[in-house]
């Protein structure tokens, strides 16, 4: 209860949910003694794949007995997920105490919710400054609250695509502008560039970072991987090759993220041997990212069918999803809920002629979610009559399921969180 009251107060400190600037967090961090200056960090920027890349980093480092602090956003089920210190998620009481102290030091100055959470994470991490701290960039890196670091070990650039366009001027809603915002102001540390969805995007990234004096490690130049049919994949970089077991997560696109993490870790020269890397990637956990629900209330509803959730919410994420679904020879049913500021039509276009049914639902407890009937009227799929249902349970129960079919609930990380909480 104490934690919820504090969070409610913090959300009222600034009139805008997102207001890109570094001035407010710089002021607060100065009051806090600039705790971020003493952290040794790995920064992760991009559009898609940041969370999965971080989970790969975490799994490998943990296997090598290297402790981590981790800051991510948004959370799936509870806000505590954003605050990992010394490998452990902070508990409610400690988080309440941390936020209470930072709120008091802030002294009611105007600051966004994300900014004060970020400053609070830095402040809490000072107790664990000997750990490697992994920071996920928020909306756009250039003026993002996370862009406050001095001791940056490495920056990982994951897949970049069109998203959050509503926060850009109408005449600047381009992939070039997004690449500029995410990559033009990076600290002088090693830059690792993941596999991108096109050569055009990769070349734009290279151009954006060309003046940066950092060492650059770019997919298909300095590192690469290949897939073997015998349940393993092969990673190679300047340090040699590694034959790796296939990770226990779904989707070949996840290998892009894992390979990026491995390239970064090997470059850091942390004396992590290949066996630790092999063992680490088998322990990667993926929550809300193409996650199969294998038990629980919702799983019981689908009976002898498979239930997946995925937090993808932009065209790039939709493409990754459909690439996976195309490998499965069965009927696929999509349950969709999205936030109001997403490109709904372009997202669903990837699923045209690929699914058997589409049902739209509201995302509970999200004021910025698009209403299901509004979403229904915006979407079109060849040969499919789109259904609208008031709840996830009703949506599942309405499906004409047989056996060995797939139900995929997707469109938002917030929806994925609601599914997990409901299950």
CATH number at residue 380: 3.90.190.20
What is the pLDDT, as a whole number, of residue 265?
Answer: 97
Answer yes or no: do 24 and 72 share one domain.
Answer: yes
Answer yes or no: do 376 and 411 share one domain.
Answer: yes
Q: Which two tokens stand for residue 400?
A: 């004409």
Using CA atoms, how far apart are residues 74 and 103, in angstroms rounded to an integer?
A: 20
pLDDT value at 63 more than 90: yes
Q: Is the dihedral of CA 156, 159, 160, 165 positive or negative?
A: negative
The mean pLDDT of 129-154, rounded to a whole number, is 91
Query: pLDDT tens for residues 278-290?
Result: 999 999 988 999 9
pLDDT value at 164 more than 80: no
**1: pLDDT confidence band, cut at 50, 70 and 90?**
confident
Domain termination residue (choose one: 226, 247, 281): 281
pLDDT value at 5 more than 90: yes
pLDDT value at 308 more than 90: yes
**252: pLDDT confidence band, cut at 50, 70 and 90?**
confident
pLDDT value at 77 more than 90: yes
Burial code of 106-137, b = ≥16 C-beta within 10 A, e = fewer?
beeeebbbbbbbbbbbbbbbbebeebbbbbbb
Residues in Cβ contact with 249 at an 8 Å cutoff, skipping those fewer than 6 apart: 52, 284, 286, 289, 290
CATH assignment at residue 83: 3.40.1190.10
Using CA atoms, how far apart are residues 422 and 408, in angstroms rounded to an integer?
A: 15
The percentage of the chain sitting over the pLDDT mark of 90, rounded to a whole number, equals 84
In a domain, 286, yes or no: no
Answer yes or no: do 357 and 326 share one domain.
Answer: yes
**Structural domains in the chain (count):** 2
Residues in Cβ contact with 174 at an 8 Å cutoff, skipping those fewer than 6 apart: none
Query: pLDDT tens for residues 85-139?
Result: 999 999 999 999 999 999 999 999 999 999 999 999 999 999 999 999 999 998 7
Domain termination residue (choose one: 263, 281, 299): 281
What is the pLDDT, as a whole number, of residue 162?
Answer: 79
Q: Which domain holds residue 357?
A: 291-422
pLDDT value at 241 more than 80: yes
Q: How many CB atoms lie within 10 A of CB 367?
A: 6
**228 or 396: which carries more pLDDT confidence?**
396
C-alpha dist (Å) from residue 356 to 79, 330, 386, 404: 35, 10, 10, 13
Answer yes or no: do 184 and 219 share one domain.
Answer: yes
Q: Is the dihedral of CA 209, 215, 221, 226 positive or negative?
A: negative
| Crossing angle for the helix pair 50-63 and 274-281, to the nearest 10 degrees | 130
Using CA atoms, how far apart are residues 62 and 276, in angstroms rounded to an integer?
A: 9
The mean pLDDT of 409-420, rounded to a whole number, is 95
pLDDT value at 163 more than 90: no
Q: Which two tokens stand for residue 60?
A: 């490998």
What is the distance, to the nearest Å, from the Cα of residue 173 to the centroid of all Cα atoms in its chain? 21
List the Cα angle 104/110/113 in 5-degree steps: 80
In a domain, 386, yes or no: yes
Largest CA distance in the chain: 60
Using CA atoms, how far apart are residues 27 and 106, in angstroms rounded to an integer?
A: 9
Answer yes or no: do 47 and 98 share one domain.
Answer: yes
Q: Please, is 94 exposed, middle or buried when counting C-beta atoms within 10 Å of its C-beta (0-12, 13-18, 19+)?
A: middle
The mean pLDDT of 8-16, rounded to a whole number, is 91
Answer yes or no: do 275 and 243 share one domain.
Answer: yes
* Three-state secondary-structure class, residue 421: helix
DSSP bridge partners of 236: 224, 241
Domain termination residue (choose one: 254, 281, 308): 281
Closest among 148, 131, 141 to 35, alpha carbons compared: 148
Answer yes or no: do 382 and 402 share one domain.
Answer: yes
Answer yes or no: do 213 and 340 share one domain.
Answer: no
Number of Cα atoms under 13 Å in the Cβ half of residue 318: 23
pTM of this structure = 0.94
Mean pLDDT of the chain: 93
């Amino acid at each position: 209860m104490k934690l919820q009251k504090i969070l409610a107060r913090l959300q009222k400190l600034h009139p805008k949910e997102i207001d890109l600037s570094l001035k407010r967090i710089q002021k607060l961090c100065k009051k806090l003694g600039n705790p971020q200056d003493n952290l040794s960090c790995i920064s992760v920027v991009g559009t898609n794949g940041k969370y999965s890349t971080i989970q790969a980093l975490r799994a490998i480092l943990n296997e090598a007995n290297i402790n981590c602090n981790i800051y991510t956003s948004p959370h799936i089920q509870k806000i505590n997920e954003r605050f990992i210190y010394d490998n452990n998620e902070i508990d409610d009481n400690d988080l309440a105490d941390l936020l209470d102290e930072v709120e008091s030091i802030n002294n009611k100055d105007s600051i966004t919710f994300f900014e004060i959470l970020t400053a609070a994470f830095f402040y809490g991490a000072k107790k664990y400054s000997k750990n490697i701290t992994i920071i996920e960039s928020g909306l756009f890196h250039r003026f993002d609250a996370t862009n406050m670091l001095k001791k940056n070990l490495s920056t990982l650039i994951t897949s970049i695509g069109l998203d959050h366009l509503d926060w850009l001027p109408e005449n600047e809603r381009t992939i070039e502008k997004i690449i500029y915002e995410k990559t033009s102001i990076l600290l002088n540390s090693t830059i690792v560039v993941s596999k991108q969805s096109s050569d055009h995007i990769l070349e734009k990234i290279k151009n954006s970072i060309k003046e940066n004096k950092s060492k650059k490690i770019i997919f298909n130049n300095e590192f690469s991987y290949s897939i073997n049919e015998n349940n393993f994949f092969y990673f190679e970089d300047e340090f040699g090759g590694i034959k790796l077991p296939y990770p226990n997560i779904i989707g070949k696109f996840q290998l892009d993220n894992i390979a990026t993490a491995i390239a970064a870790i090997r470059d850091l020269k942390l004396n992590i041997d290949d066996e630790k890397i092999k063992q680490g990637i088998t322990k990667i956990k993926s929550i809300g990212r193409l996650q199969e629900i294998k038990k629980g209330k919702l799983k019981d509803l689908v009976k002898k069918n498979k239930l997946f959730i995925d937090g993808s919410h932009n065209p790039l994420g939709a493409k990754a999803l459909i690439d996976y679904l195309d490998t499965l020879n069965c009927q696929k049913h999509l349950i969709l809920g999205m936030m109001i500021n997403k490109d709904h039509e372009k997202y669903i276009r990837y699923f045209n002629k690929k699914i058997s049914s589409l049902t739209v639902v509201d995302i509970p407890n999200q004021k910025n979610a698009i209403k299901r009937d509004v979403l229904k009227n915006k979407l079109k799929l060849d040969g499919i009559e789109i259904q609208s249902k008031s709840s996830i349970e009703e949506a599942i129960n309405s499906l004409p399921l047989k056996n060995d079919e797939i139900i995929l609930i997707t469109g938002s990380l917030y929806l994925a969180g609601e599914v997990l909480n409901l299950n």
